[in-house]
Structure 1
Amino acid sequence: MRGQQQRVLADLVDFNSGTEFGKQYGFDRIRDIDDLRKAVPIQDYAAHAPLIERTAAGEPNLLTADRPVVYFTSSGSTGAHKKIPITPRFMRTTFFPFYYAAWAPLLESFPDIAQRPDAVLNLKHDPLSAPPTTADGQPHVGASQVDFGEKFGEPLSAELGTAAPWATLPVDVAPDDHLEKMYLRLRLAVQSDVRCLIGINPAMIAAVPYQLELWWDRIVRDVRDGTLGGVPYGSPDPHRAAELERLAAYFGVVNPSQVWPRVRALFGWTTGVASLYLPALRERFGAGVQALPAPVAASEGPVGVPLDRHGSAGSLVVSAAVYEFVDADADLAPDTQTLLPHELEVGREYHVIFSHVGGLYRYAVGDVIRVEDLVDGVPRVAYAGRANRSDAVGERLRESQVVRALRTALDATGLGISNVACRVERQAGASHYVFAVAPHTSWQAAESSRFAVLLDAALQRESADYRRARADRRLCAPALRLLDPTAFHQDWHAAVGSGIRPTQVKDRLFRQDDRLWQRLTGTTPA
């Protein structure tokens, strides 16, 4: 592992030593990781942004010796659209080896899903005929909107499901009308024997049962009439329409397991908030359906890739980037001391920092990972949440701490949820956390009260800062606000309906924005 990391470092500084960044930080004098640490401070996107913007305006040789041919967009935690420069060299040496490995467990476990183009419903695939561009004329799009075969000469890179009848919609629809595009794809997919759904962002998969119910009458009508969004398409299929109507009448609720009885796998992130609702969600897709974890990665670069059926974690991609880590409880600064992969401890959580040949150096990606175990000395890591904390009165809560506390309370009570979010509110001069919970089934008053007590106790065990805030009465006991089971799905649809791409509307545990909280809960914040 150490030898591989040294080779990655040597390659990236050699390739980019003549760039403006390389000259500024003396890449020609960097021989090992200690040299890199001394020469280059830890940096975030804002620190890289000036050179990225100049690159996007057409200026060469700034961050990388290779010219970007596309810029990935990423919403990050702030919602602002980043421009991540993607170069041929990055794709060849960093991205594609990781990318191909990411699909291996799915294909090895369920080889039948690759035998027909319509066996996979790829929810994230969203090609654009006229993508937006940067000033240098290159596309500025999401990774799921790029044809890797065309851009990088990799015809085998086409994802599962991208040749399905619904992959390229045969009717005109506005590029930002994402809900209509989702409807049209579902309407086409109900006439196929779907075996697998790919979402990466699990909120997209969680939306499917809700969407089937929401659009059911319209779907059945389109199938019966041979129309697609009311436009003639194919032949009328009254037999399938009648079958769908019988299913809905018999079961009373439309589940994906009835529409696609041979679904076998869901592919997406399985950690974070999703880990709390995935057990109930899988049931709606059928008994025995497996949830396989998507890679631990960001638009900026890969971190971990599952190489087997582990439910949440993947091996660190030691051939892709030079990795450094900082304890998750620490605050990042340009000169923060870092740990290397061989210094990580199982069960601990860390900030991720990486450097790669694509032009990001000692880049703090804003994610926290948890080390689950070691495989042949290589850390196997799971996504633990964003690096941002909820810190109203010094409690410094991380997403993973709250998720674990929620899981403890759910397990102790036997309750289930469809989703959850929280925020700090101040009432009668005191602050407390309010948890908005969409229950999977109805909760009794006594169950809700016990859940809140157990959650408070679990939070105190997870976080010493939260425990002190409770002891000092800076925080009162948390409150519970039970929502309609579909509240988060409605909120997700509202966000997508506003023009945000579905891949970027992710589960957000901490929600301090008053307007968005009111949209979710239907109440005015205190």
Structure 2
Amino acid sequence: MFAARERLAGENTDPRGAQRRVLADLLGFNASTEFGREHGFGRVRTMDDFRTAVPVRDYAAHAPLIERTAAGERNLLSADAPAVYFTSSGTTGAHKRIPVTPRFMRTTFMPFYFAAWAPLIEHFPEVLEGPGAVLNLKHDPLSAPPTTADGRPHVGASQVDFGARFGEPLSAEPGTGAPWAALPARTEPGDHLERAYLRLRLAVQSDVRALVGINPAMIAAVPYQLNLWWPRIVKEVRDGTLGGVPHGAPDPGRAAGLERLAEYFGTVRPAHVWPRMRALFCWATGVASLYLPALREEFGAGVTVLPAPVAASEGPVGVALDRHASAGSLVASASVYEFVPADLDLAPDCATLLPHELEIGHDYHVIFSHVGGLYRYAVGDVVRVVDRVGGVPRVEYAGRGGRSDAVGERLRDAQAVRALRTALDSGGLALRNVACRVEPAADGAPRSPGSPGSPRPSRPSRYVFAIAPRTPWSAAEAARFTAALDGSLAAESGGYARARASGRLGPPAVRLLDAEAFDRDWHEAVATGIRPTQVKDRLFRQDDGLWGRLTGTPGG
């Protein structure tokens, strides 16, 4: 881990050179592929040549060759045959098939992957004191994973044994050797909640020092799960059972201690169960940035949140080489990176910026190309440049690249999150989670018969924010927050400000939910069979069914 970090830090002293080497490698290695021949890789020498030869492409543009590869054809996108296909971790649409080749793993994935763990191990070495010191929430191996037509597994990255599949025996993540890593109790493949329960049931008998979640929504669910399942957990600890089946020796002493925690505190928190907790490892930006400060306190005083890498199933973007709270250095030796200002639309021929052309404090769409067979790939994420270290930009995840655009406001995730933070800070408020949607314009009610004047004007479209407060808000606090949010949204987004000024958008509304609304919503989503890693915080929720499930209003 430390060696990988030192290697990446050393490469950051010459990022332009690293980018030229990555481009030359992917062109040379894949020149004879069907894609390479069609796009003249053999004639490409410079980045400008590459931009001219290959348009900016999304998954749909890559999909025909990916599907042919998954059906058994070879030498289409990469000269290397895929060993596995990563599934996307997105929350909309069908799961993608991301071909993962051995060459990609060696040159692109593994260096950043090993380096990502270095800050945790360096500053909290106690997480390696025993196999049960880390509760790794994302580790969920499958005994019989689904496969593509060519017989390759189609799974999440957390479900792949890198040692067995790619010859990387040192790649086991912290926590993957814990007693709950390979569950002894049988569960149905889609029963993710039961597996989460079984792991938590076993973990309460261990001295857990850190949680690994990557997806922060998984960590946010733990306090809720402890209390939801508490009576069952205590009974099984006392009886020595796991999922109702004998497992280990009964532990009445630990069970009695757990009962005393509940009697004394009322609400049991992770800090009570694991008093020596030190660190949480997950994404720390986006919507999570609004609730992580308060959530962290539930795991104990002084607990540190270390940011997981800025990455997607398709490849890495940034990795923290130190204890920065949210950002990581661009992995210049992993992919060829291009960027487009986030307020612009992506198009096949759009102009792009290179890493050295980025400005601090600005948001950008991410486009990358790597030897695994993705070329000028628009991953759909937006990053914000925090600063520069060692010659490369340090970036944090800012949100998805899509926009909420009901009446031309073109509001982005990152803009809404920053506006929410400003409005919260203005009133000293905190929340557990938040989502929003555009409520369409409503026709005005006619005046009573015989009354003078024209019918009442219609109400324009407006944003409705569903918020679960950290502690109850008074009516006056909610009103002040709503007014502050309106101003903050206008300050962040020129499109929103123009829509408000023209009357196309009305003032926002706030709907306060109970404290556990988002926890229940998360559990209900997982109960449908979606893997917990894929049930992420979603700010914009225009789907009536999902909104209704969250707010308890069927039909939206």
Q: 2: distance between equivalents of 1:467 and 1:525?
A: 30
Q: 2: distance between equivalents of 1:156 and 1:142?
A: 19
1:464 aligned to 2:494?
Answer: yes
Match of 2:356 among 342, 365, 371: 342
1:110 aligned to 2:124?
Answer: yes
Query: Given that residues 91 and 536 in structure 2 are in contact (C-alpha distance below 8 angstroms), is that contact kept between their aligned partners in structure 1?
Result: no
Q: 2: distance between equivalents of 1:506 and 1:524?
A: 22
1:33 aligned to 2:47?
Answer: yes
Query: Given that residues 77 and 386 in structure 1 are in contact (C-alpha distance below 8 angstroms), is that contact kept between their aligned partners in structure 2?
Result: no
Q: 1: distance between equivalents of 2:93 and 2:157?
A: 17
Instruction: Give the corresponding residue for 1:520.
Output: 550
Q: 1: distance between equivalents of 2:554 and 2:64?
A: 40
Match of 2:242 among 228, 231, 241: 228
Instruction: Give the corresponding residue for 1:367.
Output: 381
Query: Given that residues 91 and 535 in structure 2 are in contact (C-alpha distance below 8 angstroms), is that contact kept between their aligned partners in structure 1?
Result: no
1:425 aligned to 2:439?
Answer: yes
Instruction: Give the corresponding residue for 1:276.
Output: 290
Shift of 1:32: 1.2
Query: Given that residues 138 and 213 in structure 2 are in contact (C-alpha distance below 8 angstroms), is that contact kept between their aligned partners in structure 1?
Result: yes
Match of 1:142 among 147, 156, 162: 156
Shift of 1:330: 0.2
Q: Which residues of structure 2 form unaligned runs of 5+?
A: 1-14, 444-457
Q: 1: distance between equivalents of 2:480 and 2:264?
A: 36
Q: 1: distance between equivalents of 2:268 and 2:127?
A: 23
Q: 2: distance between equivalents of 1:88 and 1:253?
A: 48
Q: For residues 25-60 of structure 1, give each alpha carbon's deviation from its aligned partner in whole angstroms, at most 9, with x where no partner exists.
A: 000011111010000000000000000000000000
Q: For residues 347-367 of structure 1, give each alpha carbon's deviation from its aligned partner in whole angstroms, at most 9, with x where no partner exists.
A: 000000000000000000000
Q: Which residues of structure 1 form unaligned runs of 5+?
A: none
- What does residue range 432-451 of structure 1 map to in structure 2 within 5 Å? 432-451=462-481
1:132 match: secondary structure: coil
Q: 1: distance between equivalents of 2:390 and 2:87?
A: 35
Q: 1: distance between equivalents of 2:316 and 2:71?
A: 26
Q: For residues 463-483 of structure 1, give each alpha carbon's deviation from its aligned partner in whole angstroms, at most 9, with x where no partner exists.
A: 111000000000000000000
Shift of 1:525: 5.8
Instruction: Give the corresponding residue for 1:491.
Output: 521
1:382 match: secondary structure: strand
Q: 1: distance between equivalents of 2:177 and 2:188?
A: 21
2:329 match: secondary structure: strand
Q: 1: distance between equivalents of 2:101 and 2:186?
A: 32
Match of 1:164 among 178, 200, 203: 178
Instruction: Give the corresponding residue for 1:24.
Output: 38
Match of 1:155 among 150, 162, 169: 169
Instruction: Give the corresponding residue for 1:507.
Output: 537
1:291 match: secondary structure: strand
Instruction: Give the corresponding residue for 1:196.
Output: 210
Query: Given that residues 425 and 525 in structure 1 are in contact (C-alpha distance below 8 angstroms), is that contact kept between their aligned partners in structure 2?
Result: no
Q: Residue 509 of structure 1 aligns to which amino acid in structure 2?
A: L
Identity %: 75
Shift of 1:171: 1.0
Q: Residue 92 of structure 2 aligns to which amino acid in structure 1?
A: T
1:394 match: secondary structure: coil
Of the two, which has the highest radius of gyration?
2
Q: Residue 13 of structure 1 aligns to which amino acid in structure 2?
A: L
2:117 match: secondary structure: helix
Q: 2: distance between equivalents of 1:217 and 1:415?
A: 33
Q: 2: distance between equivalents of 1:108 and 1:19?
A: 42
2:206 match: secondary structure: coil
Match of 1:184 among 195, 198, 207: 198
Output the aligned Cα RMSD. 0.7
Instruction: Give the corresponding residue for 1:478.
Output: 508
Residue 459 to residue 525, structure 1, CA distance change in 2 (3 Å): farther
TM-score with structure 2 length normalisation? 0.94
Q: Residue 416 of structure 2 aligns to which amino acid in structure 1?
A: V
Query: Given that residues 292 and 311 in structure 1 are in contact (C-alpha distance below 8 angstroms), is that contact kept between their aligned partners in structure 2?
Result: yes
Query: Given that residues 19 and 336 in structure 2 are in contact (C-alpha distance below 8 angstroms), is that contact kept between their aligned partners in structure 1?
Result: yes
Q: 2: distance between equivalents of 1:78 and 1:215?
A: 29
Q: For residues 183-213 of structure 1, give each alpha carbon's deviation from its aligned partner in whole angstroms, at most 9, with x where no partner exists.
A: 0000000000000000000000000000000
Q: For residues 60-107 of structure 1, give each alpha carbon's deviation from its aligned partner in whole angstroms, at most 9, with x where no partner exists.
A: 000000000100001435231000000000000000000001000111
Q: 2: distance between equivalents of 1:293 and 1:442?
A: 29
Shift of 1:377: 1.8
Q: 1: distance between equivalents of 2:461 and 2:283?
A: 33
Shift of 1:311: 0.4
Moved more, 348-357 or 425-434: 425-434
Q: 2: distance between equivalents of 1:361 and 1:77?
A: 23
Instruction: Give the corresponding residue for 1:258.
Output: 272
Q: 2: distance between equivalents of 1:62 and 1:391?
A: 37
1:424 match: secondary structure: strand
Q: 2: distance between equivalents of 1:24 and 1:301?
A: 24
Q: Residue 518 of structure 2 aligns to which amino acid in structure 1?
A: F
Q: 1: distance between equivalents of 2:522 and 2:537?
A: 9
Q: Between Structure 1 and Structure 2, how many residues are aligned? A: 526
Shift of 1:140: 0.2
Shift of 1:524: 4.3
Match of 1:290 among 289, 296, 304: 304
Instruction: Give the corresponding residue for 1:56.
Output: 70
TM-score with structure 1 length normalisation? 0.99
Instruction: Give the corresponding residue for 2:281.
Output: 267
Q: For residues 284-338 of structure 1, give each alpha carbon's deviation from its aligned partner in whole angstroms, at most 9, with x where no partner exists.
A: 0000001000000000000000000000000000000000000000000000000
Q: For residues 386-417 of structure 1, give each alpha carbon's deviation from its aligned partner in whole angstroms, at most 9, with x where no partner exists.
A: 00100000000000000000000111111110
2:146 match: secondary structure: coil
Q: Residue 351 of structure 2 aligns to which amino acid in structure 1?
A: Q
Instruction: Give the corresponding residue for 2:325.
Output: 311
